[in-house]
Amino acid sequence: MELRQLEYFLAVAEEGGFGRAAERLNIVQSAVSQQIRRLEREFGLPLFDRSTRHVHLSAAGERLLPEARAVLAAAHRTRQVAAEITAGTDGILRLGAIHGPGDRLYRALAELAAIAPRLQVRLKNAPLADRLAAVRSGELDAALVRALTSAPGLRLVPVWTDPLYVALPSTHPLAAEPLLRLEQLAHLPVRLAPREKNPPFHDLITGACREAGIEPPPGPPFTSLQETLAEIGTGAPSWTVFYEVSGLPPAFRVAFRPLAGPAVITSIAVRDRPLTAALRHLLTSFGADSPDSGGGQAA
C-alpha cells in the first residue's frame, strides 16, 4: 500500500467519480483507476460500487475511508514536523553539560526556548573525554567544554570567558594586593588537580606559568574547592587558582584575588561539518557571536 493510493481513494470518494478525482489530482483517469484496482486487490475488498452511472463507496470503502484520512493526516503531520526539524524550530537537541554551570546555561536555554519553543534540549553530564567522544559519534549534538583549545574532528565555538581567581591565606603578604600576577606566586606551593582529572585546565595553568617564567613548587593536590580552601586557610601557606561558578565561596582565613593574565574560555564543541538550524539557534542563544564574561577546577 502506498500513500498515493490512499490519496487517490480519498479523492474518488470525495469527488464521487474517477474523472473528477483525476482532475483534482491533475493526472489521467486511467492512472487513478489502475491504482484503486491495485489497492482493492491488496485489501481483497471492493472499495467502490461501480454498478451505476455514479461511483459510490462500498460498505468496506465507507468503513476504510476514516482510516485512510487518519493515515494521510498522520503522514502530513510527519512531513510538517520533519520540515520544522530541518528549520530548527522543532526536534531534540542533545547537549553535553559542564559541572556547575551557574545561571548562564539556564539563561541561554531560556533564550533558546524563545527562539524555538518546540525544540527540546536534553542535557547530559559526563566527563570531558566522554562528552567529546559522544559529539564525535553523534550521540550528542554539542557539548560545553572549558579551557579546551582544540579537539580533533570537532569545531570549538567560544561562548563566554571566565576570569581566574587566586585563593591564598588571608595572612600572606600577597593577600594585600588587589590583583595578582603569576610571577608573584613563583615561590608559593600551588595546588592543582592531577592532569588526568582535567587536562585542559591543568595545561592552561602550567602553560601560563611557563610563559611567566616560573615553576611554583607543587603543593597538595586540589580535591574539591571547599576542601582545598579549608586546607589553604588552616595549613601551610599555599595557593590555588579557580574560576567562579556561582559566586565566590565563603572560606575561613582565605583571601580571593583576581589573577592577571590567563582566563578560562568556555566553548561549544560541535562536529566539524555544516551546522544544523537547531545548532545555529543554540549558538545564538549562547551569544556565540559576542561571548560574555562570567569556581572550580573540574571540567
Contacting residues for 107 by C-beta, under 8 A, at least 6 apart: none
For residues 36 and 18, what is the distance between their CA atoms, to the nearest angstrom? 10
Q: Which three cell numbers stand for residue 177?
A: 594586593
Q: Which three cell numbers stand for residue 189?
A: 606551593
Q: Which three cell numbers stand for residue 190?
A: 600551588
34 contacts 41 by C-beta, under 8 angstroms: no
| 182 or 287, which is more confident | 182
CA angle 179, 224, 205 (to 5 degrees): 45
Check pLDDT > 70 for residue 293. Answer: no
What is the predicted pLDDT for the residue at 290?
35
pLDDT tens digit string along 70-121?
999 999 999 999 999 998 999 999 999 987 656 888 899 999 999 999 999 9
Check pLDDT > 60 for residue 294. Answer: no
Residue type, 72: L
Sign of the C-alpha dihedral, residues 51, 55, 56, 57?
positive
Query: How many whole angstroms from its chain centre is CA 283?
Result: 9
Question: Which helix (DSSP H) or strand (DSSP E) does residue 142 occupy?
Answer: strand 142-146
Per cent of the chain over pLDDT 90 is 81
Question: Mean of the pLDDT values across residues 280-296?
Answer: 68
pLDDT tens digit string along 125-137?
999 999 999 999 9
